[in-house]
Amino acid sequence: MQRADGRAPDQLRPINFEIGIAPHATASVLVAMGNTRVICGVMVEETVPRWMKEQGVSGGWLTAEYSMLPYSTQTRKPRDISKGKLDGRSTEIQRLIGRSLRAVVDLEKLGPRTMWIDCDVLQADGGTRTAAITGASVAVALACRRLVEEKKLSELPVAKLVGAVSTGVLEGVSVVDLNYEEDKLVTVDFNLVATEEGEFVELQGSGEEATFSQQQLDEMLVLGRRSICELIAAQRAVLAEVAPMG
């Protein structure tokens, strides 16, 4: 099995985080995994959703939105607004991003405020949902630091970093971080979300007109977890570089 871009089965695409690309956001990150690039912007509002007030739920809230910009795909993808409704795929992805980040943020410590994570795909080449989570984790960490700097919070509400990666089975071989070409060819598509401690947040695996064995599942779990460790090391490196707070 030869990957089109010459990568080893366990090799991630080059990863890069560009910080502060949207200056009005509380924090922003342009994350690149190879040719997949996603803008992750975080804004904090000093209010909580009405259902929390009505149900007397304390603490804050964190929610995410995801969309693909019309020019992010090979053929133009009309904005959802032009169709009058959000497509099912975007809804599913934004809920995944929200769940992934809520797993590592202490909403009680966040206090009565809402953290919005807006993920907009600038360039889609496979793995946009996983790149969005990996980028959003950095943006959320930076936004939390900002809240502490501004003395809105006395301690960081973000307990851990979270990362995500896609894996799949290509010509019988388990591979990590699929690009679009590979995504079309794989017989299994398996996305993993995990924390820096190696604990899983979510696993999404499906056979694409095929089945997969326990052994392949185990291989993908090992590959995915190892790759997420690499992604989290890259997140740490960029956070250390930009850190005013260390």
Interface residues with ligand UDP (CB under 6 A)? 73, 77, 89, 124-129, 166, 180, 183
Residue 60 or 127 having the CB closest to ligand UDP: 127
Residues 6+ apart with CB under 8 A from 88: none
Give SS3 for 142.
helix
| Distance (Å, whole) CA 98 – CA 117 | 8
Q: Which residue has the tokens 């790759």?
A: 227
Could you tell me whether strands 15-19 and 200-207 are parallel, antiparallel, or unpaired per DSSP bridges?
Answer: unpaired
Residue 157 or 168 having the CB closest to ligand UDP: 168
- Please state the closest distance from residue 180 (CB atom) to ligand UDP, in A: 4
- Please state the closest distance from residue 163 (CB atom) to ligand UDP, in A: 14
- Please state the closest distance from residue 107 (CB atom) to ligand UDP, in A: 26
- Please state the closest distance from residue 24 (CB atom) to ligand UDP, in A: 27
Which letter, b or e, does each residue of 130-142 get, where b requires 16 or more Cβ atoms within 10 Å of its Cβ?
Answer: bbbbbbbbbbbbb
Residue 147 or 165 having the CB closest to ligand UDP: 165
Residue 74 or 214 having the CB closest to ligand UDP: 74
